[in-house]
Amino acid sequence: MSWYEKLKTYFPVSEMKSKEQLETLLTEKGELYVKNEGEYHIVLYADFSSFLFVDFLLVSRESRGKGIGHQVMEKLKAKNKPIILEVEPINKEDQDTEKRLRFYKREGFKHALPIMYQFQSLVVNEETEMEILYWADDEINEMMIYENMKKVYNQIHAYKAEELYGYPPKQVSEVIRFEKNRE
């Protein structure tokens, strides 16, 4: 099974990018967008100059609980940059959502509560509420996380979207907002 097929079997279609978009990112933005694949994991991330954005992290079901996710996170943390990622809110009908959040909390990630984010799934043309988590060795301002997420949206999520999906992505201001009083 290809790396893309593995991602498709685990992640909801509303969170996926098309195979064409991912391959375009890897080919045309190879200095920024990286795929690291091992026997038991796949991680796709953007390595910006001042932060990392984890787009997809998959640890195979049969190898969960064996420290592989932790090892992957340690390698990313060793780059000495803040790490940002998106997770879906806890859904009582999907136990993986709670397990995922617990994993990231154990890894030291925090919620960026003031950031409201509606992920625009270009594959199925619908929006999904997502939560933004971040990890940083030093204190980091959540406004900086917000600004970095706008870069992620414009440079990763919306990259060549109109060409690949046949319609333009929403403007960044329509999907990401900073609400100071939402703590």
Instruction: Summarize pLDDT for 165-178 with one digit per residue, the tens.
Output: 999 999 999 999 99
Asked if 144 contacts 136 with a C-beta cutoff of 8 angstroms, the reply is no
81 is a domain residue: yes
pLDDT of 126-144, one tens digit each? 888 999 999 998 889 999 9
Look at residue 63 and tell me whether its pLDDT is greater than 80.
Answer: no
100 is a domain residue: yes
183 is a domain residue: no
Residue 99 confidence (pLDDT): 85
171 is a domain residue: yes
Full domain range(s) for residue 37: 3-178
Average pLDDT, the chain: 92
Residue 151 confidence (pLDDT): 98
What is the rounded distance in angstroms from the CA atom of residue 37 to the CA atom of residue 150?
27
88 is a domain residue: yes
Residue 182 confidence (pLDDT): 67
Q: Which residues of 69-103 are buried (b: 16+ CB within 10 A; e: fewer)?
A: beebbeebbeeebbbbbbbbeeeeeeeeeeebbeb
CATH number where 126 lies: 3.40.630.30
Task: Count structural domains, the chain.
Answer: 1
Q: Would strands 115-121 and 110-111 be described as parallel, antiparallel, or unpaired?
A: unpaired
What is the rounded distance in angstroms from the CA atom of residue 9 to the CA atom of residue 138?
36
Look at residue 159 and tell me whether its pLDDT is greater than 90.
Answer: yes
8 is a domain residue: yes
